């Protein structure tokens, strides 16, 4: 019964949307991992954010890159980064990630250490990715059975029974 529900959920979303969500999440994981390395090295967030974007520019989807860059490609002041985090908190493409940008915005405004927040975001995104992978693996037996029933069994039965049917028909002639 659970496989049936998973299959219906997967069929309700077009495949390309799932693919885009996975690419977006993977890009965020890479971005926050790299950002955490900069922050652990002691750099400020206003320096680390554009440097991370510059270092990983070719690996992101265009949607994620435009979200993380905001309206300006260069940061000229600390307020730009606060505004960007606020904009991501309110207008991120994926609604479920707005909470994480809101937490980072609050930490940034309070002047707290951001390394723990960034690592928590990365951990949560990785767990979400693992849960989705487990759901995909649970749905695989159902998908395999459907493929087996549609494409393997009919030709096999034809291969086995056509000689028998031809032999029976030749006996009646």
pLDDT digits (tens, 9 = 90+) for 69-89: 875 544 554 557 888 888 889
Report residue 147's pLDDT band, with 50, 70 and 90 as the boundaries: confident
Exposure of 60 by Cβ count < 10 A (0-12 exposed, 13-18 middle, 19+ buried)?
buried
Give the side-chain half-sphere CA count within 13 A for 72: 14
| Euclidean distance between CA atoms 162 and 15, whole angstroms | 39
Report residue 7's pLDDT band, with 50, 70 and 90 as the boundaries: low
Owner of token pair 């707005």: 98
Residue 3 has pLDDT above 80, yes or no: no
Are 50 and 75 within 8 A, CB to CB?
yes
Packed helices 98-110 and 78-91: angle between N→C axes, nearest 10 degrees: 150
pLDDT for res 74: 47
Q: pTM here?
A: 0.72
What residues have CB less than 8 Å from 173, skipping those under 6 apart? Answer: none
Are 138 and 6 within 8 A, CB to CB?
yes
Q: Which residue, among 101, 120, 100, 94, has the nearest Cα to 22 in the 3D structure?
A: 94
Q: Where are the domains of the chain?
A: 2-141
């Amino acid at each position: 019964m659970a496989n049936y529900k998973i299959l219906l959920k997967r069929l309700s979303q077009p495949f390309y949307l799932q693919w885009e969500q996975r690419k977006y999440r993977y890009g965020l994981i890479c971005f926050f991992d790299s950002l955490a390395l900069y922050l652990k090295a002691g750099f400020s967030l206003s320096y680390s954010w554009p440097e991370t974007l510059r270092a990983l520019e070719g690996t992101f989807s265009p949607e994620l890159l435009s979200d993380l860059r905001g309206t300006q490609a260069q940061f000229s002041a600390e307020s730009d980064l606060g505004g960007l985090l606020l904009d991501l908190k309110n207008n991120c493409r994926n609604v479920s990630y707005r909470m994480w940008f809101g937490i980072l915005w609050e930490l940034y405004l309070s002047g707290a250490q951001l390394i723990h927040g960034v690592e928590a975001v990365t951990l949560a995104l990785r767990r979400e990715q693992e849960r989705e992978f487990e759901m995909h693996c649970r749905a695989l037996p159902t998908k395999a059975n459907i493929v087996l029933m549609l494409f393997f069994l009919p030709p096999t039965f034809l291969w086995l029974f056509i000689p028998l049917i031809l032999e029976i028909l030749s006996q009646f002639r």
